[in-house]
Structure 1
Amino acid sequence: MNESTIIDYEEFLRTAMLSSNVEMLDELIADDLIFVNHFGQILSKEADIEAHRSGNLKITGIDVLEQRIRLLNTLALTVTRVALTGTFEEEPINGEFCYTRVWEYRNGELKIISGHCSSTT
């Protein structure tokens, strides 16, 4: 695992989020995911993916503004600040958000095991 691989996987995730590709999201996210959204709610993998599957979350733009990566043995930590646009339950989303993700190399695959989102605006 190296920084270039993590950048690639972050881009796979960005693409999957933009297209609400639930199959790709399912591949990238660990079954035991713990995700804290910008409201402070703790979500499971299924809840995270269901927002895309149901159409409640529609992301139209994710522009990466800054990204930092730390490699730690079988883990990688990413902190990514983005400009995000879209809708959630028909309410507009338009702002800067900071995502922290923990990627783990397990069973020959990289998976997101934990994540956190904060609004920066």
Structure 2
Amino acid sequence: MENDSIEDLEETLQQAMLNSDLAVLDALIADDLVWTMHTGFVSNKESDLEAHRSGVFRFTKLEISDRQIHPFSDDCVVVTLKAEIEGMINAQEFSEVYRFTRVWLQRNNRWQIAAGHVSQIVPLDSQS
């Protein structure tokens, strides 16, 4: 994965999330990951992998749009995107739209996600 572009890595990540591919997720996520969930919970790599391993997360749809890649330096890229996600979380079906921000860092000639945030997009008519 050393020579892959961020766009390629994002596609690989999307498939790994859909398939709960722990080996690929482990390779793409930095050991010191800091991830803020849409609930405000701050997660880490082990929590993320365990959610896939245990079946807490089961995604059946992960449709990406509005992906923007923002290079900040030779070894730091920020990706923003919108994702329509369906599946199961804690045995509860869900279908929601989210906005993601991911920080990719290159260390030891390898790109990994070091930080990120996800927010649920709530339709304006349901905010009242």
Q: Indicate the TM-score class for this superposition, using the shorter chain for normalisation.
A: over 0.9
Q: Whole-Å Cα distance in 1 between the matches of residues 13 and 37 of structure 2?
A: 16
Match of 2:28 in 1: 28
Q: Whole-Å Cα distance in 2 between the matches of residues 99 and 83 of structure 1?
A: 11
Count of matched residue pairs: 118
Greater shift in the superposed pair: 9-18 or 64-73: 64-73
Q: Whole-Å Cα distance in 2 between the matches of residues 41 and 5 of structure 1?
A: 30
Q: Whole-Å Cα distance in 1 between the matches of residues 94 and 57 of structure 2?
A: 10
Q: Whole-Å Cα distance in 2 between the matches of residues 108 and 42 of structure 1?
A: 27
Q: What's the TM-score, normalizing by structure 1?
A: 0.95
User: Runs in 1 of length 4+ with deviation above 3 angstroms?
Assistant: none
Question: Tell me, which stretches of 5 or more residues in structure 1 are unaligned?
Answer: none
Question: Tell me, which stretches of 5 or more residues in structure 2 are unaligned?
Answer: 123-128
Structure number with bigger Rg: 2
Match of 1:57 in 2: 57
Structure 1 residue 65: Cα displacement: 1.9
Match of 2:100 in 1: 99
Match of 1:10 in 2: 10
Q: What is the percentage of aligned positions where both structures have the same residue?
A: 35
Structure 1 residue 24: Cα displacement: 0.5
Q: Whole-Å Cα distance in 2 between the matches of residues 98 and 22 of structure 1?
A: 23
Match of 2:125 in 1: none
Q: What's the TM-score, normalizing by structure 2?
A: 0.89
Three-state SS of the structure 2 residue aligned to 1:25 is: helix
Structure 1 residue 56: Cα displacement: 1.0
